[in-house]
Structure 1
Amino acid sequence: MATKVIFNSVVNWFIGRRIDQIERFIAHPYETQKGVLFSQLFMAEDTEYGKKWGFKNIKSIQDFQSQIPIVSYEDFEPYITRARQGESDIFWPGQIKKFAKSSGTTNAKSKFIPITEESLEDCHYKAGKDLISLYVNNHPDSELFQHKNLRLGGSSQIMKDFNTQFGDLSALLIENLPYWVEIINTPCRKVSLLGEWETKLKAIVEEVKNQDVGSMTGVPSWMMVLLTRLLKETNSPDIKTIWPNLEVFFHGGISFTPYREQYKKIMGGEINYYEIYNASEGFFGIQDRWGADDMLLMLDYGIFYEFIPMEEFGYSHPKTLTLDQVELGKNYAMLITTNGGLWRYLIGDTVKFTSKNPYRIKVSGRTKHYINAFGEELMIDNVEEALKCACQYTDAQIIDYTGAPIYMDRDHSGAHEWIFEFAKKPNDLERFIYEFDEKLKNINSDYEAKRYNNMTLQRPVVHIAKENLFYEWMSTRGKLGGQNKVPRLSNNREYIDPLLKLNTLS
């Protein structure tokens, strides 16, 4: 009892201290961000990249924006390749020994994102502590520390290459966690780092089915696969029967909207759901309020943020905004400068601000994941909202989906083609399509204009996927596991055509 009291006292002291720090950057966002930027510039001014772009001469944010180029991964890759091969002082001081391997969602080619000691400690691990701090601050009666946390990360093993390490970000984080953190996590490190997904899934179920799990952390789609397998293996009616002390699911990577009803259905009782926004490149946002659908932008993780209005995106010299210049409700492509050595790097996500005091955001889509074949500018957040509406009207539940254009020809208007895998099929498919289409018109004026009298766009073409279609498709692509995502939208047919073909096979 005395040990527990001491432990709780230490935890409460830490949480209180960190909440004070978060409130400080909320109160002083611009000063915090300016301090982050100039700290990074000072750290890297003697690197090859710093000398090339004159870091020492930068005296203002305007200097920084005019002197340093905006880069994609492909632009920055030559520097990363040299760092992976062991060269020091390329774009961050010293030798970088860890790289997160990420295939992304648009390229088959792997990306290798640098993970410095600073980004590991001051961004990724700090965010993990903040997630707990913000949650417990909202739920002071939480018993989180008395139970295990179920983590579901990627499937890649850590590999050695050029005397550096690379693997899924989750594998790198798990590999470098201190021992005391390992004690509260399940499955064990050995199982968490297994490479083959099916083998790993079986091992996780075997280990966790008799554990006392109080929290879960992972991507909603893959966690659902695990929980469904767990229910089947244990012949249990719901998750709460297995883990009566489960109180929260920390989720990220993809929108939770299509999965919310499925989780309610299998839980067997109420739990809390908290969203996070992280990637190999950094940890950006944490839901800081119970029941909210947006996230607090974390300003003191060694990441300096800029934002490109989507109407400027794709120009050679787009207008870029800092926090004090953004507007609510607009789509922005996010640029990051990080303590992992990325300089004005296009992460590929689009965000919307829901609040400026404090700065809160929602992820609205991907810069490469949209449909704009006819000027309709359809983003993922539009689709998610419309699908939520269509599901409510027709009592449907969606597991996975993807959409793409049907191109116009001389005799026909274009259309959007969709394939949906349902956990629960609509009670009226025609009504589902109608409500989906009408809601898109309601929330996207460009889409509505193109749908006028079917002149440019016909009504959506919808296919129902066979059971486990997306799982089978991801398996054929070698993309099973926690850090791989089903592409939701594409401006071409590279995803939907193979899915439709697979869907017709018995």
Structure 2
Amino acid sequence: MPFNSIFSWIIKKRIHQIELFKKYPFEVQRDVFNYLIQNAKDTEWGVKYGYNKIKSYKDFSKQVPLSDYPLLQPYIERMLKNEQNLLWNEDILWFAKSSGTTTGKSKFLPVSKSALEDCHYKGGKDLLSLYYNQLPDRKLYKGKHLIIGGSAEITNLDGDSYFGDLSAIILKNMPWWAEIRRTPSKEIALMSNWEEKIEKLAQTTKDEDIYILAGVPSWTLVLCNRVLEITGKKHLREVWPNLELFMHGGVSFDPYKEQFRKLIPFDDMNYVETYNASEGFFGIQDDFKIDELLLMLDYGIFFEFIPMSDFNGVDSKTVVPLEEVELGKNYALVISSNGGLWRYIIGDTIRFTSKSPYRFKITGRTKSFINAFGEELVVENAEVAMAAACQKTNAHISNYTAAPIFMENGEGGGHEWLIEFITLPDDLEAFTHILDGELKSVNSDYEAKRAGNLSLQMPRIQIASKGLFEAWLKKSDKLGGQHKIPRLNNDRILIDELLAMNLVEG
């Protein structure tokens, strides 16, 4: 039997287990909860918070505090010095380095063997399982899989312990079934100079038989455009005739859809979104005909949710388990994981679109919003409006950010949008009006504040010089696949810095 058929048969066996957690979500989460408590009860954290006395979620929520990185940092710093059994009962040898986009502060998130195998790698297998389940005649393992990871520099600690981007940790420990078809070579994939890496990626993969692309949409576009530039081809199927799947994540795909359609102008090209963060693998687009993610409930992660209407960081009073979430409500995601993160607020916000099964959409970040005038604008609103404005004015963008214009001298406030266009809109004024109208249609609070131009004036659009956002990332030592420009900011720190650079470079 050909390897592709064997692989398809093996990987689809997982579908039965996925159907079980879709049918019995609470029971599966209860099993995960018990597994986590049992494994951590003799750790320093578990002893401190009385895990041996925890018999229910109610006990857990009363005894264990909400946490963020500053709260766990003292434990993690000791783990970096090879102290063990602090947060989890396995030796922690790997740490995913993650930094806030607007700050230079690095986080070192513990990655256990269980987290790597039963969460991150399991997510990769499940993505392919779900894909084969929808398209059983696929032959993905006949060709190569081009994985565009972030800056993958590894820094060794003591012995076998090291830290680096999650993509580097995944790459260094890649299971055989993924490694045999992965490209490029590890030497290129682990390069830390992003500009040089893109060039090497393009040069070494242009002659490969690529079936799958995987990466952040914005950086994947950079690579694909460079490949077309080198080869002189009009679209990617002229370079890679068997390309059929793009697995993407990290940022919303909406603003980039039209650009990918131009790169791959074929209806049989498939796009699947994933939600894989340094803290864990949380969601997969299990049906690529609908723009929603399935919450993956058996990856060794126990989920809780804070309504954003009551969000106050680790001091938040309202926290609910999966059973109590409501559709259409914006929640901050809280996880307890088999990597030793406990009631950890990861900083992302989601909104459930279905309870049978539990599907959701990523709406933004707990710190990425604009609410200077009570408009409660979130990233999801911005992405929908930006995509509509681009589509209706034939514009294409590479990046953008927005911030409030605060009321001064009796003048009303507003929002300032700094946008780097690949293709300028046919009419910038029309683009502005469409953006404004779409924001009104998806956000009633924004619509109310725009009424009569009293609180909010018409949005102000600033055009960014070519390469501005990339220059800022490079200046901030954040150039690479995992780093992203914050879409929305409730202050003007970032946008004023970018505008100053724009004036200098423009």
With normalisation by structure 2, the TM-score equals: 0.97
Query: Which one-letter code corresponds to 2:226 in the other structure?
Result: R
Q: SS at the partner of 1:124?
A: helix
- What residue in structure 1 maps to residue 240 of structure 2? 243
Deviates more, 1:150-159 or 1:333-342: 150-159
Which among 183, 186, 190 is matched to residue 187 of structure 2? Answer: 190
Which among 121, 125, 147 is matched to residue 125 of structure 1? Answer: 121
- What residue in structure 2 maps to residue 257 of structure 1? 254
Query: Which one-letter code corresponds to 1:308 in the other structure?
Result: I
2:211, 2:240 within 8 Å by CA — same for their partners in 1? Answer: yes
Q: SS at the partner of 1:154?
A: coil
Which among 284, 303, 313 is matched to residue 286 of structure 1? Answer: 284
Q: How does 1:398-477 map to 2 (within 5 A)?
A: 398-477=397-476
Q: Give me the identity figure in percent.
A: 50
Q: What is the CA–CA distance in structure 2 between the aligned matches of 1:383 and 1:370, rounded to whole Å?
A: 9
Q: SS at the partner of 1:495?
A: helix
- What residue in structure 2 maps to residue 234 of structure 1? 231
Q: What is the CA–CA distance in structure 2 between the aligned matches of 1:49 and 1:207, rounded to whole Å?
A: 47
**Structure 1 residues 287-339: Cα deviation after superposition (integer angstroms, max 9, x where no partner):** 01122100110000000001111111016242111111111111000100000
- What residue in structure 1 maps to residue 484 of structure 2? 485
Q: What is the CA–CA distance in structure 1 between the aligned matches of 2:212 and 2:428, rounded to whole Å?
A: 36
Which among 139, 146, 153 is matched to residue 143 of structure 1? Answer: 139
1:402, 1:419 within 8 Å by CA — same for their partners in 2? Answer: yes
Query: Which one-letter code corresponds to 1:240 in the other structure?
Result: R
Q: What is the CA–CA distance in structure 2 between the aligned matches of 1:308 and 1:317, rounded to whole Å?
A: 7
- Give RMSD over aligned pairs: 1.3
Q: How does 1:61-460 map to 2 (within 5 A)?
A: 61-163=57-159, 164-270=161-267, 271-314=269-312, 316-460=315-459
Structure 1 pair 19–485 and aligned structure 2 pair: CA distance change class (3 A): same
The Cα of 1:407 is off from its aligned counterpart by: 1.2
Query: Which one-letter code corresponds to 1:110 in the other structure?
Result: S
The Cα of 1:95 is off from its aligned counterpart by: 2.6
Q: What is the CA–CA distance in structure 2 between the aligned matches of 1:205 and 1:9, rounded to whole Å?
A: 30
The Cα of 1:450 is off from its aligned counterpart by: 1.6
Q: What is the CA–CA distance in structure 2 between the aligned matches of 1:265 and 1:12, rounded to whole Å?
A: 31
The Cα of 1:162 is off from its aligned counterpart by: 4.1
The Cα of 1:257 is off from its aligned counterpart by: 0.4
Q: What is the CA–CA distance in structure 1 between the aligned matches of 2:217 and 2:137, rounded to whole Å?
A: 26
**Structure 1 residues 355-407: Cα deviation after superposition (integer angstroms, max 9, x where no partner):** 10000010001000001111111000011111122223212222110000111
The Cα of 1:475 is off from its aligned counterpart by: 1.4
Q: SS at the partner of 1:501?
A: helix
Q: Is the counterpart of residue 46 in structure 1 residue 42 in structure 2?
A: yes
1:182, 1:189 within 8 Å by CA — same for their partners in 2? Answer: no
Q: What is the CA–CA distance in structure 1 between the aligned matches of 2:200 and 2:266, rounded to whole Å?
A: 26
1:418, 1:460 within 8 Å by CA — same for their partners in 2? Answer: yes
1:36, 1:303 within 8 Å by CA — same for their partners in 2? Answer: yes
Q: What is the CA–CA distance in structure 2 between the aligned matches of 1:240 and 1:22, rounded to whole Å?
A: 33
Q: SS at the partner of 2:310?
A: coil
Q: What is the CA–CA distance in structure 2 between the aligned matches of 1:303 and 1:54, rounded to whole Å?
A: 20
What stretches of structure 2 of length at least 5 have no aligned partner?
none
1:106, 1:368 within 8 Å by CA — same for their partners in 2? Answer: no
Q: What is the CA–CA distance in structure 1 between the aligned matches of 2:143 and 2:2, rounded to whole Å?
A: 17
Query: Which one-letter code corresponds to 2:288 in the other structure?
Result: W
**Structure 1 residues 53-107: Cα deviation after superposition (integer angstroms, max 9, x where no partner):** 0011111111111111001111111111111111011111143100000113243
How many aligned residue pairs are there? 502
Deviates more, 1:406-415 or 1:324-333: 406-415
Q: What is the CA–CA distance in structure 1 between the aligned matches of 2:38 and 2:20, rounded to whole Å?
A: 23
What stretches of structure 1 of length at least 5 have no aligned partner?
none
Q: What is the CA–CA distance in structure 2 between the aligned matches of 1:121 and 1:376, rounded to whole Å?
A: 42
The Cα of 1:9 is off from its aligned counterpart by: 4.2
Q: Is the counterpart of residue 20 in structure 1 residue 26 in structure 2?
A: no
Query: Which one-letter code corresponds to 2:444 in the other structure?
Result: S
Q: What is the CA–CA distance in structure 2 between the aligned matches of 1:9 and 1:146, rounded to whole Å?
A: 10
Q: What is the CA–CA distance in structure 1 between the aligned matches of 2:242 and 2:2, rounded to whole Å?
A: 22
